[in-house]
Chain A
């Protein structure tokens, strides 16, 4: 080929390469396997039982693997955990104790952080106390292999319980160490870059080992899911933790320049999260309906945390008047948010 022809071909190839990043028809939120009702059906459908774990997408399969791993191989029936105020609870501890005894004594404990983040994820981490052997459950979870009283298979059942990991009802719940689940989260998000829960929960586990890596992981999640309010909330939480790590004994001091800079980043993330959340959250009457499947309890908890932290940080490191305006705006959409109401009543 002549030189001019080479240039033409290379020019065309360059054009194709430039267009390539614009082609993302598979960039969308959710999907059938993330719909609560559809997931429920999958877990109970005859086809699901026949096809086992291959019934769902690859990332769902990895997610189930994390569950098995964290429960020492004991397979639990998909379940909803007991009701908890999750992130809001953690936030309230942070703020209320601050109010009473001064913030220096009330750094956000890692345990709280953990509870918060792990509680996002209902099925995988249970009560989320990794490494806490023998942490008890307030309720009884059913294992896939039934107990002797509920098993019609007699000696076959006995053998099944003996050779497979199994846990008797009422026995203390144990959750395995975290480090080895990290590759599973990496794989599930590679398999499905729109698996927000994978990024959210994965970032929690990764940040325990390497905060920088967790931050990169979340950045990737946000690049693939720019409209996910959960991921902005998560990144805000990481910033919050980073701010604590900069203070003495994990304390937060807004006058500390370094901490303040990080808190401002956290504030921006919480406010972005709250703004995105308000765009997708259904009306309050729908959220209140127990039978609705549009908005899960976990999403509502995240929503509460995002709005509360957004107002709280605006109050502390931003403009108190703006904080009040935000609190009013959020309260209008979430009239049941007690923490916000309280903040509004207290004023700046």
Chain B
């Protein structure tokens, strides 16, 4: 039997048993498409978060009070009482050669009011370098001026949402507003893009660090941000920071230095786990599709026992009959998997169109796994029953039992 004839014969049966073929294509396509779409979502979320962290700033080190044994994650809630970080700790880091700039951060929450409008807002005390370090953009006015960090000044910068809620369409620049029991003059407003981990910069009011410490009546800092000069400097910078703080804290290692890479790596791990979970769900849907494929194939082949018997009576060998059914199952599976691939990628693309921030591309391992599983299920369950039928005595097969 020639290969062209095998193809012609199998296409005739694919077209001839239209309902069976369509069902099979459908099951296969759904299975493959769901794996591709779900893993695309997981992978997209992972890449989105990683991207967000990279946008935080480059070569960033975060210094937290308190000792954490793990890299990344939140500082410990319990345990020994750590020594607080203070402004002089922060300023001492400026002398480290590998550090380009630092920004101390003091944070608290206070009511912010202007002409009878009031809202509770996060107040963030920092220095002029914060703007460059976080790669923020001013919408109007200017940021904190470079000045002695120990000096307080009655000036503030508003996050875009705070500005909108207090001032509406009016200009905020130059206005005096009240934060807690002090008065501040608005010197600038932030652009609307500043959003990342934990703190939404659209919702903060930024004041000089000394002013924030006075406002909340505390000498301690929430954390210190530092920027290394180059990526290669990060490990040395990290060690130098730890050493500098230890020297100032009587030899105790009571701060945690997190590098941005470590944070990204942690989130990467979390999201890889998430993607795997999603892939597990997808694998279940693929398995369900596989069982459907299996059933359709079983029914289809048992319906055709008589045909197999006839082929045997006409002189077809067992091997040839198997080849016919293998080709048929292969063609159907391949077509179904291709349709599924198209559907899945199409759906992923559509989601990407609606949420451009999500980079929706299916991971290649998921594509291979989906196609491989679908194809092998299709082949195995197309061929197993055919093998059984082909091994029957022609007489019994002809009777269609």
> Do these two chains really belong together in a complex?
no
